[in-house]
Each structure stands twice: as C-alpha cells, then as structure tokens.
Amino acid sequence: MLTIGQMARLFDVTTKTLRYYESAGVFCPAIYGRENGYRYYAPSQIDELQRILWLRDMGVPLESIRGLKEQGALSDEHVLRNKLCGHATALEREIEDKRKLLNELLIYLKQPIMENINMNSTQGAAVEPQVKELPAFTLIGMEYRSSDVRDSIPMLWGRYLPREDEIRGRVNHEVSYGLCLPLEDGEFRYIAGVEVEKGTPVPEGMVSVTVAAARYAVLTHTGPVAGLNATFRKACSRDLPESGLERVDGPDFELYDRRFMGPDSAESQVDIYLSIAE
C-alpha cells in the first residue's frame, strides 16, 4: 500500500490535491488506517489517478471526471473520445490562452485508440529490480516538505546545487542523492544532498539526516528527469509486484552519479532505490 505522500510524489502533485480529489468524490484511498485514520492507496490505483490527472491537464472539469467515474467509463476509450470531442468544441469558443490545451486535445483525438501513449506510461514489459542491502548512511543537504504548497522538488534542487560545494566531508564527490523520507502524517520530506562522514559540520540552512540500514529494490531510469515519475509509477505498479517484491513505508532515493548527463539529456541515467520488505 502507498501513503498519500508516496502517491503524491509519484505524480509530482501535492497531498492537498489528493485530499481535494477525495472530497470531490473523484479519487479516494483504498483504505483508512484503523488506528491512525491515515490514507492508504493500492498500487492498482496508480493508473486510475494517472488518467484523472491527464484529463485535468486537458482541462476537463472535475465534475465531468466524477461523472465518468460514476458511469465506470474512465477506462472506456470510446466514451472518453465522445466526451473530449464535446470539450474540444467548447474550447474553440474560448480565448487564446486556451489554445494550447485545444491543440493537444485535437492531437489526441486524431490518434488511433491503441496509440494514445500519454496514458500508458505504466505499461510495457516489467523489469526485475536488483535487490540491495545497504548499511546506514548520513546525508547533508537541503529539504522540501510535501505539505508546503509554495515549494517543489525542482525549486529545492535550484536552491541546493549552487551551495553543494559548501558541504565538507563528502564520501563520494561524484554522487548526489534525492532522498524521500515518509512522515507520520502521510506527508514526506525530500532532501537533496550528499553522503558525508560522521561528524561533518552542517552548513547554515541545511539539514543532516541519518538513514537506517534497509533493503531496497533498485531500478535505473534513462532519459530526462521529467520522465522520472513515470519510472517510479511503473516500478510501483508493475516491476515490484510482478517480481514478488513488496514496497514498504521507508526511505526511497534517487542516486545521481557520473551517468547523469543533465536534466534534459536523453542519455542520462539515474538509479532509484525503493524500500522493500525483508
């Protein structure tokens, strides 16, 4: 099961957005914690949320999406096509700042059903992850919290990278981390940083975090960082379940080394580490 923070991170949305979708009757947790009331989502809900977010990107109102869900038509391509044709007609009457959405929608409507790749990023052959046992390690860096709607992970990296050289005692000067740690309320904190030796001083405005020893499933993302969330989604919905691995509520991280050629490079490679059960 996934916490609300983990589900939000897979799609780079805020937990506030998921709570709003829940209140609107569009996307609800699979279960609530019996003792703590926390929201938990099933891996099978990943594709449903991806479709809902895609429809929202196309400008479809939440009320219409809720109607499709109540009809059981969210996965019916023919019903969606009819709905989107009507939406396209309405967009043609709106002002110029809606034209970009209209053009993307018309491109979608011209594609054969089986070629609509925007909603199929979790499909394809499953990849068997490597399994690694890592000892405890310490990072120093800067953090983002999922509850802060004014901040984001890209903004965090923009603040952190100009200051990375301020960190002394680095274990490996060719490796940086994007560490995600779950919080008790279902939110998460994300630290952009580097591994350091014990006792390394923490620069002003930064934090130090020690990660306990854990077992991880390891997969490699290839391509621009804009596609990283799609790799996370596929890992959670296909790669881990089909390999008999169970994700747990623990630390996850991205590992950036010399294979990372830049955020927009099609040749960049980033390893992702997901906490799994023993």
Evaluated on CA atoms 200, 201, 204, 208, the torsion sign reads: positive
Give the pTM. 0.68
Q: Which residues of 214-237 are buried (b: 16+ CB within 10 A; e: fewer)?
A: bbbbbbebebebeebbbbbbbbbb
Domain ranges (residues) in the chain: 2-119, 130-275
pLDDT digits (tens, 9 = 90+) for 185-227: 889 999 999 999 999 999 999 999 999 999 999 999 998 888 8
In the CATH hierarchy, which top-level class contains the domain 130-275?
alpha beta
Q: Which residues contact 61 (CB under 8 A, 6 or more apart)?
A: none
Residue 219's pLDDT is 96
Lowest mean pLDDT among 13-22, 35-44, 86-95, 143-152: 86-95
Residue 176 tokens, joined? 């940086």
In the CATH hierarchy, which top-level class contains the domain 2-119?
mainly alpha
pLDDT digits (tens, 9 = 90+) for 98-147: 555 666 666 567 655 544 444 455 566 778 999 999 999 999 999 999 98
User: Same fold for the domain at 2-119 and the one at 130-275?
Assistant: no
Has residue 165 got a pLDDT over 80?
yes
The whole-number average pLDDT for the span 63-68 is 91
Residue 122's pLDDT is 58
The whole-number average pLDDT for the span 68-82 is 87
The whole-number average pLDDT for the span 37-43 is 92
**241/233 Cα distance (integer angstroms):** 12
pLDDT bracket for residue 79 (50, 70, 90): confident
For the beta sheet containing 31-32, the strands, ordered from the edge strand earlier in sequence to the opposite edge, are 2-3, 39-41, 31-32
